[in-house]
Amino acid sequence: MPETTADRLNSAVVSIDTANLREYCKSLHAGDRVLLSGVVYTARDAAHKRFKDILSDGKNLPFDLNGAVIYYAGPTPAPPGKPIGSCGPTTSGRMDSFAPALLDSGLTGMIGKGERSQAVCDAIIRNNSVYFAAIGGAGALAAASVKSCEVIAFPELGCESVKKLIFKDFPLIVAIDSRGGNLFSK
């Protein structure tokens, strides 16, 4: 009997480091549970607009897109003794007009919540990439997996500045895999 998405959601958790994510993409399936560790960059709407302008001008982004993972989040300021405040995902569809170009430029993974457009799904397949779903409404819990946070671009955007995070076992679910498997498909 073929394995179903429900079977995958009940399967073992896979630990992956972002440095090796591209290698894992072909083996990931929609519904797989992942603990992601390594470097992840935050970026939301305002930063994505700037990315588009920078790429249109033929310039380099503030980080190397090749193999990178972007988390659609705008973390809140860190409380004393913590690297970050609440760090929950934002709605991914707001970045859909920017995502295909970023994927075509080397982006390997995206983390957010909600469905993606067909253009994004096609770009994920075309580029052997992956879209992970994070649990919405659990920003304080998600912050526990962030070990460091550094603003690397657009500080004037406040919580929407681009930040370099170091994840340790950040819990995710593969929402769209590199073969077109999609938790949101009917």
The string of pLDDT tens digits covering residues 62-117 is 999 999 999 999 998 999 999 999 999 999 999 999 999 999 999 999 999 999 99
Using only C-alpha atoms, what is the Rg of the chain? 16
Tokens of 154: 């657009």
Range of the domain at 83: 5-176
Q: Is residue 182 in some structural domain?
A: no
pLDDT band at 167; cut points 50, 70, 90: very high
Q: Is residue 181 in some structural domain?
A: no
b/e for 2-37, b at 16 or more Cβ within 10 A?
eeebeebeeeeeeebebeebbebbeebbbbbebbbb
Check which CATH number belongs to the domain holding 67 and give it: 3.20.130.10
Whole-number pLDDT of residue 5: 53
Q: How many domains does the chain have?
A: 1
- Least confident window among 25-34, 44-53, 109-118, 134-143: 134-143
